[in-house]
Amino acid sequence: MKLAHTLDHAKWTFTTRRVERSRIAGSDRDFSAARSGDLILAHVEKLGQHLRVQLPCGRPSLIFPGDAVVLACGARYAPDQFEGLAEISAEGADLLAGGGCIGRMVARNERIKPATRLMPAARLLDKAGRTINLADFALRPRPSRSRPPVIAVVGTSMNSGKTLATAQLVLGLRRAGYRVAALKATGTGAFGDYNEYSDSGAHFVGDFTDAGMVSTYLQPLSRIKAGIATLLDAADEATCDIAVMEVADGIFQRETAALVADPWFGHLISGLIFACGDAVAAAGGVAHLAQFRLRPNALTGLVSCSPMASAEASAATGVPVLRKSDLADPAEAAGFALRARARLERAA
C-alpha cells in the first residue's frame, strides 16, 4: 500500500509515458541488476544541473529535495552535458536527462553543473516478479509491404540545427498537403523535439522511446534499426505519405556513425539533409558521408543564418544551402517529397 501511495504522488517522467501503471505490483532494491529501460522509483537528494523533470503530459515540473520521481535506467551521450551509463547504486544515482533517464554520470561538460543526485528507492516489478521495462510497452512491429519515403536529417553535432530543420520541413510538407511522420531515430528521451514536431503539424510523431528505449546510447545497432523499422511501420499504418527522420548528435557519435555507415541506412532513405555550423564543417561532413555513398540534397542549420557562410559552404561542396524559411516553403518541401518518392520507386 505504501508503494502504491508513493507512486500515485510521484512525478512520472516523459520516458515512462507509455507504461501501464496498473502492471506495477511490487518492487525490489536489486539496483545492481538494473538494465537500460528498467523503471526506477527514486527521491531527489540534491539539485544540480537539472532543476526540472519533464512530465508525460508535455510540461516541465520543478523538482525539490525529497520529491519522488519515476524514471527509466539508461545511458546518455551528450557532449554539451553528460556522458552516463545505465548503472545504479543503492548509495545514489544521477539524473542524466530531464526527460527521465537515471544512471551513473561518468563525464560532464565543464560549462554545466554536476548532475542532480537521486536516491534510488525501488526497482519496479510486475505481479510475476519481473522488472517493469519500457520495452514491455513499446509499439509492436507490424511489418508492412510498403513504407513511406524517408528524408533523413543528420548533422555535425548537438545543437547544429537538426531538430529545427526537421520541424520546418515537416511544416513545409504539411503546408503542401502531405500527411507527414516526424521521427527521432536516436538520442535520449525528452519531450522538446517531440513537441516541436507535433507543433509543426506532423500527422504522426514517434521516437525511440516509443520503440522501448530510454536512450539509444550503447544499444546494439540491430536494436536501433529494428526500432526505426517499427516507427516507419507505425507511420505507414497512420497513412503517412512521407517521413522526416532526425538522427541525433553528430556523424562521429558512436551510434550515429554506425547507422550512417550501414548500407541498410542508405537503402532506407530517399533524401538527406545535413545540418552544420560553417563551411569547413559542411565540407568535412559532405566528404565523410561520401565514403558511404551518401550525398546530402541540402545543407542547413547554423550555417544558413549567414549569407556569406552559406555561399562558402555551397561553393565548397556543390550542395545548396536552405534556410528554415526555405524548408517551410510548401513548394520547396513538395520538391523534396517528389524526389524522395521517385527515388523510392526506382529502388523498388
Domains of the chain as residue ranges with CATH: 2-133 (no CATH), 150-347 (3.40.50.300)
List average pLDDT for each run of 10 residues in the chain, which is 348 residues long: 89 98 96 98 98 97 98 96 96 98 97 97 97 97 85 93 97 98 97 96 98 98 97 95 96 97 97 97 98 97 96 98 97 94 86
Q: Considering only CA atoms, which of 161, 149, 91, 143 is closest in space to residue 121?
A: 91
Nearest to 251 by CA among 303, 196, 288: 288
Radius of gyration of the chain (CA): 21
CA–CA gap between residue 175 and residue 330 (Å, rounded): 5
HSE value, Cβ hemisphere, 13 Å, CA-based, for 203: 22
What integer pLDDT is reported at residue 1 of this predicted model? 53
Residue keyed to cell 544521477: 94
Distance, CA of 333 to CA of 202 (rounded, Å): 14
Cell numbers at 236, concatenated: 505507414
pTM: 0.96
Residue 290: CB atoms within 10 A of its CB come to: 12
Question: Which residue from 272, 281, 53 is spatially nearest to 156, judged by alpha carbons?
Answer: 281
Contact assessment for residue 269 and residue 291, using Cβ atoms and an 8 Å cutoff? no
The per-residue pLDDT for 346 is 86
Backbone angles phi, psi at 175, to 5 degrees: -65, -30
- What's the start-to-end Cα distance of the chain, in Å? 57
Cell numbers standing for residue 129: 516478479
Sorted by sequence, the CB contacts under 8 Å of residue 245 that are 6+ apart come out as: 150, 151, 152, 153, 166, 183, 184, 185, 228, 269
Contact 222, 241 (CB under 8 A): no
**pLDDT of the residue at 158:** 86
